[in-house]
Amino acid sequence: MNELELQENVQRNAKLSAVVIALCKGMIDREADSQLWQWLLNIQVAVSEYVATLGLELILDESEGYAFLRAREYDAEDDKLPRLIPRRQLSFHVSLLLALLREKMAESDASGGETRVIVSRDEVLEMIRIFLPEGSNEVRLIDQVDSYINQIVKMGFARKLKGSDKMLELHRIIKSFVDAQWLAEFDQRLSEYRKQLLPQGDH
């Protein structure tokens, strides 16, 4: 290997390390870091092969502009590696909000509107209010919704717009996380929750 090839190999390994470290920390977003995104596209195969040794798989959506790692699913007879990326344990109400925001995104896509989907805190409040018991304390409800929103932002499913923490831009990664199976399982939980909200005589 000559000096030029050695230098190119060092640079490639540095890019591979940077991309894998970023993915282990969370998501790579094309808009948030265009250089890291381009590196990922250039060495996508190498990244996939490397994370596979850690029991992970690369999920990359080039059209939507995001990538993240997911723990591989194993057959019962396979030797399982320790889980490097733990499953996200979401509360019911955070799951509910994710499902509602996924529906909002689907409605926007169906209408052929802007690719950016932006919602206000007031909209989120009205979305989730109908699923809460009647007579809920308004101030407490607002605090709770703010807490749910903050959790979703922290997980990378949305971001607050600069200059207004009451406006949210949804991230397209919601489409990948909230898939048909996830919604089917959540619909069952939602049905059970609705029954709990009904007066005893209305079951």
> Is the whole-model pTM more than 0.75?
no
Long-range Cβ contacts of 5-9 (<8 Å, 24+ apart): none
Strands (E), the chain: 28-29, 56-61, 66-71, 117-120, 158-161, 164-170
For the chain, what is the mean pLDDT? 79
Least confident of 9-23, 32-46, 118-132: 118-132
User: What digits encode the pLDDT tens for the residues 181-203?
Assistant: 677 777 776 776 666 555 544 44
Whole-angstrom distance, CA of residue 167 vs CA of residue 169: 7
Whole-angstrom distance, CA of residue 129 vs CA of residue 115: 26
Structure tokens at 53: 């040794």
Q: What does the pLDDT read at residue 40?
A: 95
Q: What does the pLDDT read at residue 7?
A: 81
The most confident of the ranges 87-91, 119-123, 151-155 is 119-123
At 54, is the pLDDT very low, low, confident or very high (cuts 50, 70, 90)? confident
Tokens 């640079």 identify what position?
A: 11
DSSP state of 202: G
Amino acid at 162: K
Q: What does the pLDDT read at residue 195?
A: 66
Q: What does the pLDDT read at residue 200?
A: 44
Q: Which residue has the higher pLDDT, 97 or 38?
A: 38
Helices H / strands E in the chain, number of each? 8, 6
Percent of the chain with pLDDT over 70: 79
Q: What does the pLDDT read at residue 201?
A: 44
User: Do strands 66-71 and 158-161 pair parallel, antiparallel, or not at all (unpaired)?
Assistant: unpaired
Q: What does the pLDDT read at residue 180?
A: 66
The full set of domains in the chain, from first to last, is 3-71 (1.10.10), 92-202 (1.10.10)
